Amino acid sequence: MTNRLPALAASLLCGVFLLGCAQRVDQLVVLDWAGYELPEFWAPFADAHPDVTVDYSFFAEDAEAYAKLQTGFEADIVHPCSSWWGLYVENDLVQPIDTAKLSNWSGVHAELAQMGSFDGVQYFIPWDWAYESILVRTDKVAEVPDSWADLWNPQYAGHVALWDSGEANFAMTALSLGIDPWTATPEQSAQVQERLVEIKPNLLTYWVDYAEMAQMISSGDLWLASNAWPDAYGLLLDEGVPVEYIQPIEGRLGWVCGYGIAKGAKDVELAHEFLNALLAPESMAFLTNQYYYGAANADSIPLADPYVIELLSLDDPAILKQTIFYQTLTDAQRQFMTSMWDEVKAAP
């Protein structure tokens, strides 16, 4: 247990002499995705601060978390994904992170760490990352696809599901056309939209929840799920369903999410300690074992399940460079992708 006498003395000095120094708090509020509240993810913090309550408030999508902070929701820690990080920084919703206070920072992949840095200042710590690829029910198809473009192949008609995400579908379709998703011209963007309308005869549905999507593959109704995550792959393998998680010739997409300290955090020092606990090798190994996701801290690899590490090549030093990670979008890009996707779904 942490010795609380120094903190108590500081508190008395602040109260008696009105020094105006920061007070320690007994609660942290974390704005997060459901499923990340598991105590194994921040056990070192709980051990060091048994008197501090960690309360979670959940969001279902990045836009919801962003809107909450913008409209004054009081949180200490927030967990958005990388394509949103720039907007948090531009709108002064998060504050710089002092990585010198994070003893577990040295093991973080440099490529991922750089994504959370803006103008040389670290605003987010990367934490979880994963691929997006095509998940295939191999016993149902005559030919296993090897390209994003194969989603349009008529042999799969009526048995393809796209993730219900404008950003994801814009990115994968752009890649299938040889277009850089993040530098697409207006003409190229129109081409992507037209191409997405053309895939509709192949669609069974749009998937939202990965477990529901996995169930459709398990039942045999769904043969190809686009932009699937490794957790669905692991779930189906555990059930003995014959599936393959392909490596498209254009490259797998990849997402990174991570934690930032909200601008209004009540105790910045305590927030840093929480981030450090999240980055602990034991915490990160639990993430990999639980969800089949990559961990930002490479020091966790020896502690993780070797089966998962080998299955997803998480110990391959080149794997991050081979993955096409989502990049921060401008407001204009995000608005276009959202309206484009609405138009695609509404098209006959």
**pLDDT confidence of 251, banded at 50, 70, 90?**
very high
More confident residue, 9 or 127: 127
3-state secondary structure 197-222: HHCHHHEEEEECCHHHHHHHHHHCCC
**Considering the entire predicted model, what is its pTM?**
0.89
Distance of alpha carbon 279 from alpha carbon 300, whole angstroms: 9
So what's the pLDDT on residue 68? Answer: 97
Distance of alpha carbon 134 from alpha carbon 226, whole angstroms: 5
The answer to whether domain 5-129+255-325 and domain 130-251+330-346 are alike in fold is yes
Average pLDDT of 284-295?
98
- Residues of the chain above pLDDT 70, percent: 93
Distance of alpha carbon 250 from alpha carbon 229, whole angstroms: 17
Topology of domain 130-251+330-346, per CATH?
A: D-Maltodextrin-Binding Protein; domain 2 (3.40.190)
Residue showing tokens 């973080």: 108
Residue showing tokens 């990080």: 85
So what's the pLDDT on residue 25? Answer: 84
Amino acid at 30: V
Average pLDDT of 202-216?
96
So what's the pLDDT on residue 4? Answer: 38
Lowest mean pLDDT among 5-19, 84-98, 308-322: 5-19
More confident residue, 11 or 155: 155
Average pLDDT of 249-268?
97
Task: List the one residue out of 160, 299, 284 whose CA is nearest residue 217.
Answer: 160
So what's the pLDDT on residue 204? Answer: 98
Distance of alpha carbon 339 from alpha carbon 190, whole angstroms: 12
Domains in the chain: boundaries: 5-129+255-325, 130-251+330-346
Q: Is 247 left (phi over 0), alpha (psi -120 to 50) or beta?
A: beta
- Residues of the chain above pLDDT 90, percent: 91
**pLDDT confidence of 252, banded at 50, 70, 90?**
very high
**Backbone torsions φ then ψ of 342, nearest 5 degrees:** -60, -40
So what's the pLDDT on residue 52? Answer: 97
The predicted-structure confidence for 107-153, as pLDDT tens digits, reads as follows 999 999 999 999 999 999 999 999 999 999 999 999 999 999 999 99
* Token pair belonging to 219: 């039942």
Is the pLDDT assigned to residue 17 strictly greater than 50? no
**pLDDT confidence of 342, banded at 50, 70, 90?**
very high
CATH number for region 5-129+255-325 = 3.40.190.10
Average pLDDT of 315-328?
94
The predicted-structure confidence for 35-72, as pLDDT tens digits, reads as follows 999 999 999 999 999 999 999 999 999 999 999 999 99
The predicted-structure confidence for 224-246, as pLDDT tens digits, reads as follows 999 999 999 999 999 999 999 99
So what's the pLDDT on residue 23? Answer: 56
Average pLDDT, the chain: 93
